[in-house]
Amino acid sequence: MGETLVLGSAFMWALATVLAKPMLGRIRPSTIVAMHAWVAVLVGLVLLIALGRLDELTAIAPQQVLLLGLSGTFVVLGDIFLVRSFTQLDPGKAFTVASGLFVLFTLLAGWIFIGDPVTQVTLAGAMAIIFGVYMTRGGAHDGPTTAVPGSTLAATPTVLLAGLMWAAGLIGFDLALDNVDPIAGSTIGYLFPALAYIVWAIRGHRFEIMALDPTNAKLLAASATFGGLALVGYTFGIKYANAGIVAILESTAPIFAILLAVALFKERLTARTGTGVGFCALGIASLVI
């Protein structure tokens, strides 16, 4: 169950990213990611009310509330650092490096701090998926990069922080959700960064959402919906699967993004990209089946 939820989350995150891409340059990445967090909070509240479990929010101990809030903030910060790295490095290469670091940090931290097993099958699946993402780093077709010219060295701190923040958020959620309802945990976790964004926007008078044209407003709404659902599914997956598997499967998001680009924008799938998708499929199968 946990593995399926994480794969669903990766697909939703990829769809949110594809929808957000046309808005970059018109709206800050932090605003897009903050909207994802707000949708995750609202979805959590609706589910808790519908299931009659709203009291789960008040049953969480203060130290767990803090851990959940930090975990949600780390996840959101990781997304922001990744998007910002696109200004210094090709997006495909940035995601490949960040995903690899995310998996590495999570496997090590999970093994050291929470005792998650690292089996030969887990390592083989991780290597297959990371290699598959590497093979697809150029996108669905061969062509000139659209990234701002830069070097891997210049982007290293940002990409490193993205992988580190994701790993810290995942491990934090894994620890906090042991004795917490996953819906309540998700709601509390993403409420922290959502509120932090509101404070930042008010203090800096940055209400760019109000100035969006109808097309970009619709894109933001769609991206926020899928991004928020992705965050909720991701947190549920952490509850029901070990941290290392979650990190590995979540790193397949670029593959879903490429397949969506092929389906929605009729982009051509090259032999290199097809090979990468195949390796990812093998890695997923070894971890899920």
pLDDT at site 182:
92
Which residue carries 């991701």 as its tokens?
234
Which residue carries 């997006």 as its tokens?
91
Q: Is 244:110 a contact under the CB 8 Å cutoff? A: yes
Identify residue 73 by its one-letter amino acid code: T
pLDDT at site 34:
92
Please, which residues have CB within 8 angstroms of residue 250's CB and are 6 or more apart in sequence? 6, 9, 10, 13, 102, 234, 237
Give me the helices (H) in 61-179, please. 62-85, 91-113, 120-135, 152-176
Which residue carries 């299931």 as its tokens?
51
CA distances for 4 relative to 175, 241, 253, 288, angstroms: 20, 10, 13, 8
CA distance 73 to 275: 35
Domain of 163, in residue numbers = 2-288
List, run by run, the mean pLDDT of 10-residue segments along the chain (289 residues). Answer: 83 83 79 93 96 94 95 93 72 69 80 76 78 64 43 67 91 90 95 93 78 86 93 89 78 74 68 75 69
Q: How many domains does the chain have?
A: 1
CA distances for 270 relative to 29, 31, 141, 183, 265, angstroms: 29, 34, 6, 40, 15
CA distance 263 to 11: 13
CB atoms within 10 A of CB 21: 17
pLDDT at site 146:
41
pLDDT at site 108:
81
pLDDT at site 30:
86
Partnered with residue 27 across adjacent β-strands are 24
CA distance 159 to 91: 11
pTM of the model: 0.80
Compute the C-alpha angle 253/243/48, nearest 5°. 80
